[in-house]
Homo-oligomer: A and B are copies of this chain.
Amino acid sequence: MRVGVLGGGQLARMLALAGHPLGLSLVVVDPSPEACAAPVSDHLCAGYDDVDALARLAVEAEVVTFEFENVALSTLEGLSARVPVRPAPIALVTARDRVVEKEMFAKLGIPAAPFAPVANTADLARAIEKCGVPAILKTRTEGYDGKGQVVIRDAALAESAWHALGRRPAIVEQMIPFAREVSVIAVRGLRGEIRFYPLVENTHRDGILRLSVCRTDDAMTQQAQSFAERLMVELGYVGVLALELFEVDGTLLANEFAPRVHNSGHWTIEGAATSQFENHLRAVAGLPLGATHAIAESAMVNLVGAIPRAEDVLAHDDCHLHLYGKSAREGRKLGHITVRAQNAAELRVKIDALRELPGASREI
């Protein structure tokens, strides 16, 4: 079976590597000639609005999925009319607008920080009054890795903060000090069956994910899974979904969700019975889902902005290097390392040993 993917970055690359053994080959649309997925898939080098390329995708693929979220709704709907798109466009439309997303959380009874949309100066004042300071002002769309957001600590500076974001449609969210950030990766099959990976605890630096540690039997697991399940059922979801949450005073607040495989699930390649990439493909191809339990104590260390020498990574036993075939650039995710261990203490020792590598963060 041929699976079409909008976007040919590292997520598509890892989907492609997971697909070949199952007899699933990928055809990806990506405007970059250096798309990471190109060496392991068929690459249609074209923009996401290229009518001819999308028509070809609809012919060549039996099902289409995406790793890139900023595809025009008209593109997705046009594709949907010709070939199954999984997850359905509604999931993408919901996830990529922070206001729509937060309204969905509210509708489903999923707790989140107080928020208010901002379209004009009057909205902004009302929003700051509602949420208080400190608050976070974010663009409604296209923010990622900490981009498109700014913290407002003084209500008098809200206007200039919004100006810094180009006065784009925005959202103000109350800034709540949290104990930790966790995420739950879940997968829903074509017949509605759902499987959850263990909860993951995430550490960010400069707005970029640096470390994810799998926390089997975490006390927050049931709550997180219940929220993810509500979302997936509501959206008629098919595929892998990642829900990011903050733990505040022993309860979880939803931050955002990604309608796709997710950086905080990369540990599953070696750490879980079935990787998130394989399970996403199984789901969109209508195949049975694979087991999602952790097979070892596992963690993932992101490589950002620099790539260590392979020998310096591989000298550590049961540490698995994943490079994305990208050229180095500051703040760019270039690869990751999966770390496996027999127990939590050994895992921590192994993570500590990787901290000094180029690309890893000393603060993980």
Residue of B nearest to A316 (CB): B288
A312-343 interface mask toward B, CB cutoff 8 Å, 1 = contact, 0 = none? 00110110111101000000000000001000
Q: How far is the CA of A322 from the CA of B18 in the complex (A)?
A: 10
Interface residue A305 (Cβ < 8 Å from any Cβ of B) = no
Q: Are B21 and A17 in contact (CB under 8 A)?
A: yes
Does A296 belong to the interface (CB within 8 Å)?
A: yes
Question: Counting CB contacts under 8 A, is A273 at the interface?
Answer: yes
Report whether B317 and A291 are in contact in the complex, using a CB–CB cutoff of 8 Å: yes
A323 partner, pick from B23, B274, B286, B296, beta carbons under 8 A: B23
Whether, in the assembled complex, A230 has its beta carbon less than 8 Å from a beta carbon of chain B, the answer is no
A289-309 toward B: CB 8 Å interface, digit per residue (1/0)?
A: 011000110000000000100
The CA-CA distance from A22 to B295 in the complex, in Å, is: 22
- Return chain B residues, CB-CB under 8 Å to A282: 314
Given contacts A40-B40, A287-B310, A296-B295, contact A21 B321 (CB under 8 A): yes
Whole-angstrom distance between the alpha carbons of A182 and B287 in the complex? Answer: 35
* Closest residue on chain B to residue A322 by CB atoms: B21
**Taking the complex as formed, is A147 at the interface, i.e. its CB lies under 8 A from any CB of chain B?**
no
A315 contacts across to B, CB distance below 8 A: 288
Let me know if A33 is at the binding interface, CB within 8 A: no
Q: In the complex, are the beta carbons of B317 and A273 less than 8 A apart?
A: yes
Contact A290 B273 (CB under 8 A): no
In the complex, are the beta carbons of A318 and B340 less than 8 A apart?
no
With most chain B CB atoms within 10 A of its CB, the pick from A314, A320, A322 is: A314
A314/B296 contact (C-beta < 8 A), A20-B39, A22-B321 known = no
Contact indicator per residue, chain A 148-183, by CB within 8 Å of chain B (1) or not (0): 000000000000000000000000000000000000
Does A206 belong to the interface (CB within 8 Å)?
Answer: no
A273 & B318 in contact (Cβ 8 Å cutoff)? yes
Is B288 a contact of A314 with CB atoms below 8 Å?
Answer: yes
Q: Are A21 and B320 in contact (CB under 8 A)?
A: yes
Asked if A249 is an interface residue, CB under 8 A from chain B, the answer is no
Q: Which B residues touch A285, using CB under 8 A?
A: 310
CB distance A287 to B273 under 8 Å? no
Tell me the bound Cα distance from A274 to B313 in angstroms: 14
In the assembled complex, A311 has its CB within 8 A of some CB on chain B:
yes
- A65 at the binding interface (Cβ < 8 Å): no
Bound-state CA distance A17–B269 (Å) is 13
Q: Is A25 an interface residue (CB 8 A)?
A: yes
Chain B residues with CB under 8 A of A40: 20, 39-40
User: Once bound together, how far apart are the Cα atoms of A93 and B317, in whole Å?
Assistant: 33
The answer for the CA separation of A314 and B19 in the assembled complex, in Å, is: 13
Known contacts A17-B17, A40-B40, A273-B340; 9 additional CB pairs below 8 A are A20-B325, A21-B321, A21-B322, A22-B314, A23-B321, A25-B39, A273-B317, A288-B311, A291-B317
A-B contact pairs, 7 of them (CB 8 A): A22-B310, A22-B323, A25-B39, A274-B320, A288-B311, A288-B314, A290-B318
Interface residues of A (CB under 8 A from B): 13, 17, 20-23, 25, 39-40, 273-274, 282, 285-288, 290-291, 295-296, 307, 310-311, 314-315, 317-318, 320-323, 325, 340
Closest 5 CB pairs of A and B: A23-B323, A21-B322, A291-B317, A288-B315, A288-B314
